[in-house]
Amino acid sequence: MNGASRFLRQTGEYLYFTFRIRKWLLRSLVIMAVVPGIFLFELPIEVRRVFAYVFVSLMAAGVYAVANVYAGSAAQTVAVGLLSKKYRNKEYSTPAIEQLKKRMSLDNVKVLVTPNPVVKSAFTTPMRPRVYLPSAWLTEFPSGEILSIIGHELGHVETRRRFALEVAAAIAAVLAFSFLLAFRSIAIVVQVTEFAALVLALTYVSWRNERRADLVSARELGPEGLISVLQQLKTRVKRDEGSETHPPLSDRIRRLVKLLG
C-alpha cells in the first residue's frame, strides 16, 4: 500500500463514527434542546454563547455521521437499479421457496440473485415485491440457511404495512414534539432537534421491524437456520453494535435462541 492510499484509509477510519457515537451525538442534541434549550431566552448571554457553540458542534458531527450511513444504504438500492443491465439479476426459485411463498400468501414476490458487487447482503425493496440476494451467498450458505434468509426478507414484505404505520406514527410524534418545542426555543434548535429525534425514532422502529422479520422466519421455518446465518455474519464484523437500520447481531441471535426447544 502506497503512502497516499494509507493516508486515505487512515483518514477514513479517523472520520468514521461508530453507531454508539452517532447515537449519543443525537441523544445529546435532544437533551440539550429539552433541558437548556427551552430556557434559552432566560439564560445569561455567556451561557447562550457556550450553548450555541456546543450545539452547533454536535449538530455538524451528528449530521455528518448519520448522512454517511444513510448515503451508503441508499447507494446500494440505487446501484441495483442503475447497474441492472451490467449485472444481470436472475430469478431464483426452488420448490421450497415456492412452497414458503404460497404458505405466506406472497406468490407475487420475486426472489432475485444479483452479482452486483455493491450488494453485500440480502434486502427487499419497499415499493416493489422483490427480494435480492448476493450471488456469493448461494455458495457461502447451504440451501436451508438461504431459505431462512429469504423467510426473513419475506417477513419484511408481509409486515410492510405495519412498518409503514409505525414510521408514520414516529414522524407524527416527532413533529408534535418539535411543534411544542418551537414555542420555547429558536428555529435552528428546533430544526436540528427534529432531525436528531427523527433519526432516533426511526432507528427504534427499524429495529422492531428487523426483529419482527426474524420472528416471521422462525415461525415459518424454525429459528435454527437464521441463527446459523447470523452467527456466521457475526464472525465477519469488527463491531457488533448494530446500526440505524439493524439491531446488533448478538441481540438478534439471543432473541432467536429463546425460541429453541
| Longest CA span, the chain | 71
CA 247 from chain centre, in angstroms, equals: 8
Confidence (pLDDT) at 14: 43
Whole-number Å distance between alpha carbons of 218 and 221: 5
Whole-number Å distance between alpha carbons of 25 and 79: 30
Confidence (pLDDT) at 62: 65
Confidence (pLDDT) at 1: 44
The string of DSSP letters for the chain reads --HHHHHHHHHHHHHPPPHHHHHHHHHHHHHHHHTTGGGGGGS-HHHHHHHHHHHHHHHHHHHHHHHHHHHHHHHHHHHHHHTTTTS--EE---HHHHHHHHHTT-TTPEEEEE--TT--S-EE-SSS-EEEEETTHHHHS-HHHHHHHHHHHHHHHHTHHHHHHHHHHHHHHHHHHHHHHTTTS-HHHHHHHHHHHHHHHHHHHHHHHHHHHHHHHHHHH-SHHHHHHHHHHHTT-S-----SSS--HHHHHHHHHTT--
Confidence (pLDDT) at 4: 46
The one-digit pLDDT tens for each residue of the chain (261 residues) are: 444 444 434 444 444 578 888 888 888 888 877 776 677 677 787 777 777 767 777 776 666 666 655 655 665 566 565 555 666 788 999 999 999 999 999 999 999 998 887 788 898 876 778 899 999 999 999 999 999 999 999 999 999 999 999 999 999 998 898 888 888 777 777 888 888 888 899 899 999 999 999 999 999 999 999 999 999 999 988 889 888 889 999 999 999 999 986
Cβ atoms of residues 112 and 81 within 8 Å = no
Confidence (pLDDT) at 42: 73
Is the pTM value of this prediction over 0.75?
A: yes
Confidence (pLDDT) at 37: 66
Crossing angle of helices 19-34/45-82, nearest 10°? 140
- Say if residue 223 is exposed, middle or buried (CB neighbours under 10 Å; 0-12, 13-18, 19+): buried
C-alpha cell at 135: 450471488
